[in-house]
A = this chain, B = another copy of it.
Amino acid sequence: MAEKLYLGLDIGGTAIKAGVCDGEGRLLHTVEGPTEGGQGAERILQNAVACARRCVEESQHGWDRIAAVGAGVPGFLDAARGVVKFSPNLPLAGFPLRDRLAEALGKPVSVGNDANAAALGEAWSGAGRGVSSCVLYTLGTGVGGGIVVNGQLIEGFTGMGGELGHMKVVPDLEAIQCGCGKKGCLETVSSATGIVRMAQGAVERGDRTSLALVENLTAKDVFDAAKAGDEVARRIIERAALYLGKSMALVAVIINPELFIIGGGLSQAGEFLIEQVREAFRKCALERAQEGVGIVAAALGNNAGVVGAAGLARRLAT
């Protein structure tokens, strides 16, 4: 019998990506299409189904090889019922995504949070391949995360497992309000938004920095300035790295993972960022909890989500 294949769907705010993976998490084919979230939940479903069919067709493996389908969505899910509870950027609240996809595609379907799916993807065939446990930090507009222990996602009782961006790590004296309503969350500092906010603050205060000359500051501008030796930019990145390291020191005595993986847009800063995170972690973490523990960049890039969604599917079919 031919090897089972798994179809992953990464349903994002603007694009849907579909991918066919083999049982080792190798991505055999991938296609993209629009989400068109503004057109409502039914349109998102139609687009996801079209993307899925096109991907399998183009892959030339045939529908019968697909054992199951997985879908990652940005938001919180009722995993048991397969229903989206809340999605900040898509009109999917209350939508029974799992059953509707299963109906349309004629396959068993598993759905999950997109950051968790990305962690599962990295654990399966990315930077975490072969390790016993890993924790993914996705550094983008916010800070997302996902935790995989012995191949199993820690999704949590209400789907809040791996919501690492909302660890309160910034002391009250310097804490600002987070989008979640609490103060001092990791993502207020260690996200692209946090880095830009700190840079704008420095410029507004009149700090001597090359960033004052940049219009429409982005996190990349701050990284570039820091790499070029701008002291203000350097301190901002150092602060973002410090709180990442502090949060990892906490995770290290709770989960004690073998590997931390840094993904998302900010991970493009590469070793410049990661080496600073390692240094902060080394300084903050209990010695026994950092023995042999690695901190590395994600390996699957934008494909982590679709590979992980295929990994969600694999749970159903093995």
Q: Which residues of A contact B (CB under 8 A)?
A: 76, 132-133, 147, 149-150, 152, 154-164, 166-168, 171-172, 180-182, 246, 249-258, 284, 286-289, 291-293
Contact = CB atoms under 8 A, between A and B. Distances in A.
Contacts of A182: 284, 286
A292 B159 CA distance: 12
A254 B255 contact: yes
A149 B154 contact: yes
Given A158-B291, A160-B253, A171-B172, 5 more contacts: A76-B288, A147-B255, A156-B255, A168-B249, A250-B250
A254 B251 contact: yes
Main secondary structure of the interface of A (DSSP, over half): loop
Contacts of A159: 256, 288
Contact of A286 (B166, B256, B257): B166
25 contacts: A149-B149, A149-B152, A149-B154, A156-B257, A157-B256, A157-B257, A157-B292, A158-B291, A158-B292, A159-B256, A160-B256, A160-B289, A161-B254, A163-B253, A163-B254, A163-B286, A166-B286, A166-B289, A168-B246, A181-B286, A182-B284, A250-B254, A251-B254, A254-B255, A255-B255
A157 B132 CA distance: 7
Nearest to A246: B168
Contacts of A160: 252-253, 256, 286, 288-289
Nearest to A249: B168
A250 B168 contact: yes
Tell me which of A147, A158, A292 has the highest count of chain B C-beta atoms within 10 A of its own C-beta.
A158
Given A152-B150, A246-B168, A250-B167, A255 B286 contact: no
Contacts of A161: 254-256
A156 B133 contact: yes
A286 B252 contact: no
A160 B132 CA distance: 14
A253 B166 contact: yes
A186 B284 CA distance: 14
A246 B182 CA distance: 12
A85 B36 CA distance: 56
A194 B232 CA distance: 40
Question: Which 5 A-B pairs give the minimum distances between C-beta atoms?
Answer: A156-B256, A160-B256, A160-B289, A157-B258, A163-B253
Contacts of A254: 147, 154, 161-164, 167, 250-251, 254-255
Nearest to A149: B154
B288 A167 contact: no
